[in-house]
């Protein structure tokens, strides 16, 4: 079992936000990814994005198989987090390789979002993705 310091998870979330801020313009097949990148790169969304990443990653770390899905962590999210930002953040975590679809699905219990009964993916946390990322450039003064 690999233990990942929480500070590294926060660094990954910030690196993901920084990466999204510098994302190039999208082609037709990249619309959802571009929207997710724009939402998570918006400075006003930094606190909610970090809250979402915290809840999702902690839920996965608490699972013996390091798996997570929305039914488990949706009720743990702070009430001030916008539902639209949750999907965008999860998409960015998938794009970063931190969340990997397992190919399994569970039925959603999200009746407030009118998604009750729809299939939702089960993800596995890939902590190795934290170590495979190249270090981000530090700004130099001068």
C-beta of residue 61 within 8 angstroms of C-beta of residue 123 = no
Segment 30-37 shows an average pLDDT of 57
Tokens of 84: 């639209």
Which region among 62-76, 105-119, 123-137 has the lowest average model confidence (pLDDT)?
A: 123-137
pTM for the structure as a whole: 0.66
Over residues 90-110, the pLDDT tens digits come to 988 888 888 999 999 999 998
User: Could you tell me the two tokens for 114?
Assistant: 């009118």
The Cα–Cα gap between 132 and 18 comes to 17
For the 6-132 domain, the top CATH level (class) is mainly alpha
Segment 43-101, tens digit of pLDDT: 777 888 888 888 998 899 899 999 999 999 999 999 999 888 888 889 888 888 889 99
Return the domain boundaries, the chain: 6-132
């Amino acid at each position: 079992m690999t233990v990942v310091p929480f500070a590294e998870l926060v660094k990954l979330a910030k690196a993901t936000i920084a990466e999204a801020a510098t994302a190039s313009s999208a082609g037709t097949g990249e619309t959802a990814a571009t929207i997710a990148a724009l939402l998570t790169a918006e400075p006003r969304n930094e606190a909610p994005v970090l809250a979402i990443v915290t809840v999702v990653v902690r839920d996965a770390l608490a699972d013996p198989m390091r798996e997570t899905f929305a039914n488990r962590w949706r009720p743990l999210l702070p009430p001030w987090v916008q539902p639209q930002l949750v999907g965008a953040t999860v998409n960015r975590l998938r794009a970063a390789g931190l969340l990997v679809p397992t190919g399994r699905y569970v039925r959603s219990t999200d009746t407030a979002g009118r998604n009750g009964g729809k299939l939702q993916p089960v993800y596995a946390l890939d902590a190795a993705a934290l170590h495979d990322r190249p270090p981000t450039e530090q700004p130099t003064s001068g």
